[in-house]
Amino acid sequence: MGTLFLRRLSRWQAETEREQIADLYAAAHRDPSPDAAPPDRAGFLRRFVDHDVQRPEFDLMLAGDPGPAGCAYGFLAEREDDWWDRFRERPEALPQLAEHRRIFVVTELLVHPRRRGQGLAGRLQRELLSRVSASVALLLVEPGNGLALSALPSLGWSKAGELTPPDGAALAAWAIPLG
């Protein structure tokens, strides 16, 4: 494996590299079992371009070797976001922190399978959160994502509740204090 280079991408650069980031998403979420459905690359790409990149204080760290090996990105949460009302078992301070723009939502933390087990997720997380002015980072994870759920505690995350989106598929919320 070659040397890894980490770089912060602007909104414009992230949109320019969207296809490579979507490929990374698909590789990172691919289930190796033969009957598993492929990851929804097109759905990811729509969310990434139409929603995530447009959010306030969007920030993205990309690791390359030279192709994308991992990335982490997110944005500042706002109290007006409709998903706060679907949050079950949340710490009471979260909506107030969001009202004061003190929560950074880590939307994705992706590592290509060829680079797993090398500490890349931790490096990406540290670099992404190093410039964040928020008090707390929040990460939403699908309950069936055993790989992510097993790795989060070693990265400093702790369970903070559950979010139920309109389609009814609950997401586990994890938080990490910042600063």
Helix, strand, coil in percent for the chain, rounding step 5: 35, 30, 35
69: exposed, middle or buried (Cβ count in 10 Å: 0-12, 13-18, 19+): buried
Are 53 and 135 in contact, with CB atoms under 8 Å apart? Answer: no
Q: What pTM does this model have?
A: 0.88
Helix (H) or strand (E) holding 129: helix 120-129
pLDDT at 83 over 60: yes
Quick one: pLDDT at residue 118? 92
pLDDT at 135 over 60: yes
Quick one: pLDDT at residue 155? 92
Q: Amino acid identity, residue 19?
A: E
pLDDT at 80 over 90: no
- The CATH number, out of the four listed (3.40.50.1820, 3.40.630.30, 2.60.120.1600, 3.40.50.620), of the domain defined by the range 5-30+38-177: 3.40.630.30
Are 122 and 109 in contact, with CB atoms under 8 Å apart? Answer: no
- Answer with the residue of higher pLDDT: 15 or 93: 15
Q: How far apart are CA 34 and CA 103, in angstroms?
A: 39
- Answer with the residue of higher pLDDT: 47 or 34: 47
Lookup: tokens for 52: 């995530």
* pLDDT-wise least confident of 55-69, 131-145, 161-175: 161-175
Give percent above pLDDT 90 in the chain.
50
Quick one: pLDDT at residue 30? 87
Q: How far apart are CA 71 and CA 174, in angstroms?
A: 18
- Average pLDDT estimate for 69-94: 77
Are 60 and 9 in contact, with CB atoms under 8 Å apart? Answer: yes
